[in-house]
């Protein structure tokens, strides 16, 4: 290979890594968040993979080892507003093309009592709201400057059809704290969409389907889909979003999810 060709190859590599887009994902150490991190890294994006643990979980350390130049692992508990502000300051100057508010809790599906009428555990309510609704709101506020500075300018939140008033399907009993927290999330993100539309930022909600994440073990529900299929679909939805879609709510398959 001549020196000229080698120099051209290096120039292409430098241009590619400098031009790479950036995604920040909350709760990226398992399930849907981890699959988002894997698929964006495989697409050549820079990934800021955040988690709430005191040490980096093995799942994202493995991904970082696979993509050492692309994956950056950061600590961010979505209920810890000081930690959110610290990371936002640390990433000052980093444009975030796609911000994915994914972290969330659902409650233990093997023990529905704390979220069932008659045995409601009222002390749990606040935790659901702080993680599932306030976390994405605070993170959207803290990282809005990074998103505005990017090319794509997109903020997403992983919601759930369980939070939809329009959902008419099965399994509608119980889940009080989870459902209400996702309904609150939907309203917060609609507000954020209104507030950021003038800056060209697209804010949207995503409904991932019923996804067979690790914590389900060998449990099977009708209609379960793989994380790979759900996230492939959601990434395709994200890619297709324009600012005209801001405030919208889409299923992983691209159809509209009723609020």
Return all residues near 217 (Cβ < 8 A) that are at least 6 apart. none
The yes or no reply on residue 39 touching ligand NAP (CB under 6 A) is: no
Which stretch, 15-23, 104-112, 141-149, 239-247, contacts ligand NAP (CB under 6 A)? Answer: 104-112
**Nearest CA-CA partner of 44 in 66, 27, 60:** 66
User: For the window 48-87, what string marks contact with ligand NAP as x by the rule CB under 6 A?
Assistant: ----xx-----------------------xxx--------
Residue count (the chain) = 259
What angle (nearest 5°) sits at the alpha carbon of residue 159, between those of residues 29 and 208?
A: 70
**Pair of tokens at residue 196:** 């950021």
Candidate list 22, 39, 70, 102; residue touching ligand NAP; CB under 6 A = 102
Shortest separation between residue 219's beta carbon and ligand NAP, angstroms: 11
Q: How many residues bind ligand NAP (CB under 6 A)?
A: 25
Query: Which of 29, 70 has the CB closer to ligand NAP?
Result: 29
In the DSSP assignment, the letter for residue 208 is -
What is the helix (H) or strand (E) element at residue 64, kind and residue range? helix 58-66
8 Å CB contact between 211 and 32: yes
The yes or no reply on residue 103 touching ligand NAP (CB under 6 A) is: yes
By the criterion CB under 6 A, which residues form the site for ligand NAP?
A: 26-27, 29-33, 52-53, 77-79, 102-106, 131, 158, 160, 208, 210-211, 213, 215
């Amino acid at each position: 290979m001549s020196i000229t060709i080698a120099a051209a190859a290096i120039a292409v590599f430098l241009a590619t890594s400098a031009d790479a887009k950036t995604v920040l994902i909350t709760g990226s150490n398992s399930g849907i968040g981890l699959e988002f991190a894997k698929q964006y890294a495989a697409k050549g994006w820079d990934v800021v993979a955040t988690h709430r643990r005191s040490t980096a979980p093995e799942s994202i350390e493995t991904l970082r080892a696979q993509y050492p130049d692309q994956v950056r692992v950061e600590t961010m508990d979505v209920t810890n507003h000081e930690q959110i502000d610290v990371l936002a300051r640390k990433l000052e100057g980093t444009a975030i093309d796609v911000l994915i508010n994914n972290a969330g809790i659902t409650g233990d599906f093997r023990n529905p009592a704390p979220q069932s009428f008659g045995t409601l555990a009222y002390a749990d309510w606040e935790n659901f709201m702080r993680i599932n609704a306030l976390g994405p709101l605070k993170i959207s506020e803290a990282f809005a400057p990074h998103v505005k500075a990017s090319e794509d300018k997109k903020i997403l939140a992983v919601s759930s059809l369980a939070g939809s008033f329009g959902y008419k399907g099965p399994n509608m009993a119980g889940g009080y704290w989870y459902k209400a927290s996702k309904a609150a999330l939907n309203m917060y993100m609609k507000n954020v969409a209104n507030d950021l539309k003038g800056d060209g930022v697209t804010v949207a909600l995503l409904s991932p389907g019923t996804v067979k994440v690790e914590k389900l073990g060998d449990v099977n529900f009708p209609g379960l889909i793989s994380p790979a299929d759900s996230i492939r679909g959601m990434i395709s939805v994200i890619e297709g979003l324009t600012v005209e879609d801001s405030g919208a709510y889409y299923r992983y398959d691209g159809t509209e999810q009723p609020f």
